[in-house]
A and B are shown apart, each in its own frame.
Chain A
Amino acid sequence: MQDDTPHAALLAHLWDEAALLVLQLDPMGRVTHANAFANRHLGNELAGRDFRDLLVNFAVPADFDIRTCANSSPFVLNFNTPSGQPATYRVGVLATDDGLLTIGSPDIDGLEKLQWQVLKLNGELSNMSRQLHQANAELTRLNALKDRFLGMAAHDLRKPLGAIMAYVDFLRNEAAAALTAEHAGFLATIAQAAARMRGMIDSFLDVSVIQSGKLRLERSPVTAESIMAGIRPILDVAARTKEVKLTVDLGGSVLVLDVDAGKIEQVLTNLVGNAIEHSSPGATVSVSVRASGSTAVFAVHDEAVGIPEDRLEHLFEPFERAGTHKSGGERSIGLGLAIAHKIVEAHGGRIRVDSQWGRGSTFTVELPIIPTTNGGEA
């Protein structure tokens, strides 16, 4: 006769819902009944399954048999769960008239310890993330300070250097007759060193301006031809000095760009100048300009040694160098390509390099051309 008292109902509810794994087994160790908690945590199709199959197999001794565990002290077993995450229970086994009754309680202590540790780790992780962001912000501030210092130092160095260069020029022009050959040589060396120093200072100034986001472009329509004409004389001198053949191919079309001509001349002078400096006497440096869709493509090709593959990725970053020596031993501070990259980027263009070790390099600058009625070429 069924017991319908509240007391029995509460017991039935606890039997099913309490956080206890309740499994009835037949004499062969197969599940005949599982409570709701067991179905929720071990999966719904428990009836008929061998008890051993419910366990995480690598954690079960080969000779384990649940039928030999009846009435022993509770022991720990690890069960498979539908989530794939094993669950640990402390299990007791009772012998009954029709088999075995196994009751497992969750490893509450272990779970609590785990929860506590996870919360603690989460807090620590969050604190460390805060410290990292704080340190990162401080580094950004220091970097900006460094750029400002660099700019100020370069600006202040430029003035006395200008005076040195002016007086050297004065002496070489006005007092040449009074100078011995040796003294004239000293002055030439001073002039050369001062020019090199001014180049470096100008680069520092450029970097400082670019890094602080203060790069201003004075754009106006200009042809690719006039840009090349503007830099040609100085590059011809450099090529002659290095006994390098410089060829320029404008491709026959007139390409009009909306750029800061001075800045683009600086970029191309740097690229062609580098190509010449890395070339050996007798080699050719070729510059070409072509339209490609809506862009003008300036290509600077040299026959120098090329750039090692591991340097290519960072080549346009400040103070990175190609990892090769200039053929005349010229020194570089590694800012030219970084400046060129930023200038081209500010124009909405693209700069890239293709290089094969031993077979030379090609630097390409792509800049948007002013759209015209005949497809971008004026």
Chain B
Amino acid sequence: MIEIYPDYLHALLAGDQDQCRRMVRTLIENGIPVHTLYTDYFQRSLYQVGELWEGNRISVADEHLATAITESLMPETYPVLFGADHIGRSAVVSCVANEYHQIGGKMVADTFEMHGWNSYFLGANTPVADLLALVAAKKPDVVALSLTVFFGLGHLLDAISALGEAFPALPVWVGGQAFRWGAHEQVSALPNAALLGSLAELETRIAAWEAPHAG
């Protein structure tokens, strides 16, 4: 596989959407697995962009632009992603109230799709009531919640508790950049929740999930 990550990051930081899109298309045409594209390009570059922003080396506008470009590139993978055979499992994936970073959540939703699950993605800033309504309608096997900004932890815990009360047997998988700062115990203390540290861990968990019995 061709190694164009440094050029990709350079184009992303320069806000050159067209160049980034050309590179992503080249990678897809060369058969890069969607998983690799997500982790080794999208996730890796956004983590680096985040670090540059935290180090005051780029502006918030640069960071927003990089995020927006990445989000606009994700549909390039969809013809491959949504072509996977379904195994009869489904997941509702969402960001909680006041959480406006949705790329992580979308990567999680797409990861479910890669494994043949149906994923319903609710997006940024989803009120608990909307989340509960979709879960009631879709009856998923799993709910996955993404948290990027640590200060949204309260909303996340509220959402997990509300899900536990309404759907006691429904597992809630939680993850995101916010957990770099801790709060592992607070999530682990909730009986219906499990904290996953990475997309790789999510994939392991999905793979371990037993396929539904026929009939």
Can you list 13 A-B contacts with CB-CB less than 8 angstroms, sorted by A residue number? A115-B64, A119-B67, A122-B71, A123-B124, A124-B123, A127-B123, A130-B106, A130-B109, A130-B121, A133-B79, A133-B81, A134-B113, A137-B83
Q: Is A126 a contact partner of B72 (Cβ separation < 8 A)?
A: yes
Q: A115-B64, A137-B83 are in contact. Are A123 and B102 (CB under 8 A)?
A: yes
Q: Is B75 a contact partner of A123 (Cβ separation < 8 A)?
A: no
Residues in B with CB closer than 8 Å to A127 are 102, 106, 121, 123
Q: Is A119 a contact partner of B68 (Cβ separation < 8 A)?
A: yes
Residues in A with CB closer than 8 Å to B79 are 133
Residues in A with CB closer than 8 Å to B68 are 118-119, 122
Q: How far is the CA of A117 from the CA of B193 in the complex (A)?
A: 33
By beta carbon, the residue of chain B nearest A133 is B78
Q: How far is the CA of A221 from the CA of B100 in the complex (A)?
A: 66
Q: Give chain B interface residues in 77-118, CB to chain A under 8 Å.
A: 78-79, 81-83, 86, 100, 102, 106, 109, 113
Point out the residue from B64, B74, B81 that lies within 8 Å of A126, measured CB to CB: B74
Asked if B137 is at the interface of the complex by the 8 Å CB criterion, the answer is: no
Q: Is A130 a contact partner of B75 (Cβ separation < 8 A)?
A: yes
Q: How far is the CA of A133 from the CA of B106 in the complex (A)?
A: 14
Residues in B with CB closer than 8 Å to A115 are 61, 64
By beta carbon, the residue of chain B nearest A129 is B75
**Interface, chain B (partner A; CB < 8 A):** 61, 64, 67-68, 71-72, 74-75, 78-79, 81-83, 86, 100, 102, 106, 109, 113, 121, 123-124
Q: A126-B72, A127-B121, A130-B121 are in contact. Are A119 and B78 (CB under 8 A)?
A: no
Residues in A with CB closer than 8 Å to B82 are 133-134, 136-137
Residues in B with CB closer than 8 Å to A134 are 78, 82, 113
What number of A-B contacts does a CB cutoff of 8 Å give?
A: 47
Q: Do most interface residues of chain B lie in helix, strand or loop, or is the interface mixed?
A: helix
Q: Is A119 a contact partner of B123 (Cβ separation < 8 A)?
A: no
Q: How far is the CA of A126 from the CA of B78 in the complex (A)?
A: 11
**Interface, chain A (partner B; CB < 8 A):** 115, 118-120, 122-124, 126-127, 129-130, 133-134, 136-137, 140-141
Residues in A with CB closer than 8 Å to B109 are 130
By beta carbon, the residue of chain A nearest B69 is A122
| Smallest CB separation, A44 vs chain B (Å) | 24
Q: Is A126 a contact partner of B83 (Cβ separation < 8 A)?
A: no
Q: How far is the CA of A127 from the CA of B121 in the complex (A)?
A: 8
Q: How far is the CA of A119 from the CA of B100 in the complex (A)?
A: 10
By beta carbon, the residue of chain A nearest B109 is A130
By beta carbon, the residue of chain B nearest A121 is B68
Interface centre among A118, A127, A129 (most CB of B within 10 A): A127
Point out the residue from B61, B72, B81 that lies within 8 Å of A122, measured CB to CB: B72
Q: How far is the CA of A136 from the CA of B80 in the complex (A)?
A: 12
| Smallest CB separation, A229 vs chain B (Å) | 46
| Smallest CB separation, B25 vs chain A (Å) | 16
Residues in A with CB closer than 8 Å to B78 are 129-130, 133-134, 137
Q: Is B71 a contact partner of A123 (Cβ separation < 8 A)?
A: yes
| Smallest CB separation, B22 vs chain A (Å) | 19
Residues in A with CB closer than 8 Å to B72 are 122, 126
| Smallest CB separation, B162 vs chain A (Å) | 23
| Smallest CB separation, B89 vs chain A (Å) | 15
Residues in B with CB closer than 8 Å to A119 are 64, 67-68, 100
By beta carbon, the residue of chain B nearest A124 is B123
By beta carbon, the residue of chain A nearest B124 is A123
Residues in B with CB closer than 8 Å to A129 are 75, 78
Residues in B with CB closer than 8 Å to A123 are 71, 102, 123-124
Q: How far is the CA of A115 from the CA of B124 in the complex (A)?
A: 16
Q: How far is the CA of A122 from the CA of B113 in the complex (A)?
A: 22
Point out the residue from A118, A124, A126, A140 that lies within 8 Å of B75, measured CB to CB: A126
By beta carbon, the residue of chain A nearest B85 is A141
Residues in A with CB closer than 8 Å to B123 are 123-124, 127
Can you add 8 more A-B contacts, CB < 8 Å, to A123-B71, A126-B72?
A119-B68, A122-B71, A127-B106, A130-B78, A130-B106, A130-B121, A133-B82, A134-B82
Q: How far is the CA of A126 from the CA of B73 in the complex (A)?
A: 9
By beta carbon, the residue of chain B nearest A134 is B82
Q: How far is the CA of A115 from the CA of B67 in the complex (A)?
A: 13
Residues in B with CB closer than 8 Å to A126 are 71-72, 74-75, 106
Q: How far is the CA of A129 from the CA of B75 in the complex (A)?
A: 7
By beta carbon, the residue of chain B nearest A125 is B72
Q: How far is the CA of A284 from the CA of B40 in the complex (A)?
A: 68
